Amino acid sequence: MARTIKVDCLTRVEGAGALTIRFDGDSVRDVKLRIFEPPRFFEGLLRGRAREEAPDITARICGICPVAYQMSTCHAIEDGAGVRVEGRLRTLRRLLYCGEWISSHCLHMFMLHAPDFLGYPDAISMAQEHAELVRRGLRMKQVGNAILSTVGGREIHPVNVKIGGFYRAPAPAELKALLPELVWARDAALETVSDFARLDFPEFERDYEFVALRHPQEYPFCEGRIVSSKGLDIDVHDYENVFREEQVPHSTALHSVIRERGAYVCGPLARINLNFDRLRPVAREAAELAGFTVPCRNPFKSILARAVEVLQAIDEAIAIIESWAPPAQAAVEVPHSAATGYGCTEAPRGILYHRFAVDGDGLIQDATIVPPTSQNQKSIEIDLYDISERLARMPHEAAVLLAEQTVRNYDPCISCSTHFLKLEIER
């Protein structure tokens, strides 16, 4: 009997996509994660723009993780100019990134992913029986947004990020005002790690190649080498020598692969697996107490990895604010020179690579942007392929739900990717 699991409109993901799994009897014939997000051509429209405009423009690739785009853009352009932003400005960038991780992760954990585990169509209906959990999630998300608006000037598409630093450094009193809610949120995050550890995780493991940044001392945000669980260890400059974007006939999007080895995974699970020893003590202890051990190869447990990272980000934000003294100047000078620069930072969903070529007048000649979701797309499809044997034996509605949950494990941000093709093959 030919059977098809079809989800015409993937919900609780950012962007527009659909999913089709076709079976012959119990064996899967075809898995398609179709994307119909219209292309917006950011790499094209960046050409000829001034480098100073770039962080404002790339932010618009994604309303969920604009800071990630701004950070990768700034680092790429600064790299080309031979400038490193250090000291308090670097710290302030980490604080801004903490805000985005908290906000983006809480959105996904509480509003998009948890309803799958607890059996609701959305967070609002979940609130009827889990009011405390939903209210806690919304309040934690608000704590992240408060950091974004205080440091960045606005929650979505912050206006204060500049090549070389910031337009204005916030005063200590402005940041200190964030502390009471952050201190509450740290306890709430501890509770969340312990709550989510008790969720019922489907049994599923795969031998992934995890890819993340690794920094000598810190849990990674903006700097570090690109490393993997299968021995990769490269400088960001070598990204395009190792990773390749390929076009496959059964998908509407370009897929990223590691040359010669194929699919890989980036994002919270990859980061925590590769950087567990770099977590702040409170986050590491909470993870251990909750029974989260690395390497974790169950993608359904990514919700737990996000919860630990939220705790990590809140604890780091508190530490930064408690010792905050404003920098002498809000930004450092970034001299003009014709150059190509590279940047890779850890967006909430994983590594976000940028390459910018800028001319001597500061106009962008060429831009390459590889968002995390396009890097994870191949792995999402393999997960679906691997789990489909189980889906074939399940009642239809339960199978559809599990297939959707398998996609949502990755918190895919379909709007993010600049590389979407319109290509359909129906058999």
Partner 1 sequence: MGKHQRPKLAVWKFASCDGCQLSLLDCEDELLVLAGEVEIAWFPEASRALGPPPYDLSLVEGSITTPEDVERIHEVRKHSKTLVTIGACATAGGIQALRNFRDVQEFISIVYARPDYIDTLATSTAIADHVPVDMELRGCPINKHQLLEVLSAFLNGRRPNIATHSVCVECKLRGAVCVMVAHGQPCLGPVTQAGCGAICPACDRGCYGCFGPQDTANTDSLGRAWLQAGKQPDELGRVFHTFNAAAEPFAGAGTKYGQDDQS
66 binds partner 1 (CB under 8 A): yes
Across the beta sheet with 211-214, the strand order is: 211-214, 225-228, 233-234
Among 3, 16, 237, 248, binds partner 1 (CB under 8 A): 16
Among 21, 54, 102, 134, binds partner 1 (CB under 8 A): 134
Euclidean distance between CA atoms 138 and 111, whole angstroms: 9
Q: Which of residues 404-423 bind partner 1 (CB under 8 A)?
A: 404, 413, 415, 418-419, 421-423
List C-alpha distances in Å: 402 to 7, 109, 360, 396: 11, 17, 53, 10
Q: Which of residues 100-129 bind partner 1 (CB under 8 A)?
A: 107, 111-112, 115, 121-125, 127
CB of 217 to partner 1, least distance (A): 30
Structural contact between residues 240 and 375, judged by C-beta atoms closer than 8 angstroms:
no
Question: Smaller CB distance to partner 1: residue 279 or 391?
Answer: 391
Stretches 160-168, 198-206, 236-244, 264-272: which one binds partner 1 (CB under 8 A)? Answer: 160-168
Euclidean distance between CA atoms 213 and 216, whole angstroms: 10
250 binds partner 1 (CB under 8 A): no
Stretches 37-45, 199-207, 376-384, 387-395: which one binds partner 1 (CB under 8 A)? Answer: 37-45
22 binds partner 1 (CB under 8 A): no
SS3 at position 233: strand
357 binds partner 1 (CB under 8 A): no
List C-alpha distances in Å: 127 to 137, 189, 193: 11, 18, 19
14 binds partner 1 (CB under 8 A): yes
50 binds partner 1 (CB under 8 A): yes
Question: Smaller CB distance to partner 1: residue 161 or 318?
Answer: 161
Query: Rounded to the nearest 10 degrees, what angle do helices 179-197 and 302-322 cross at?
Result: 160
Euclidean distance between CA atoms 164 and 160, whole angstroms: 11
List C-alpha distances in Å: 206 to 41, 62, 262, 343, 372: 34, 29, 14, 30, 19
45 binds partner 1 (CB under 8 A): yes
Number of residues that bind partner 1 (CB under 8 A): 70
DSSP state of 295: S
63, two tokens: 């309303």
63 binds partner 1 (CB under 8 A): yes
Residues at the interface with partner 1 (CB under 8 A): 9-16, 36-45, 47-50, 53, 56-57, 60-64, 66, 107, 111-112, 115, 121-125, 127, 134-135, 138-139, 141-142, 145, 153-157, 159-160, 162, 166-168, 247, 254, 330, 404, 413, 415, 418-419, 421-423
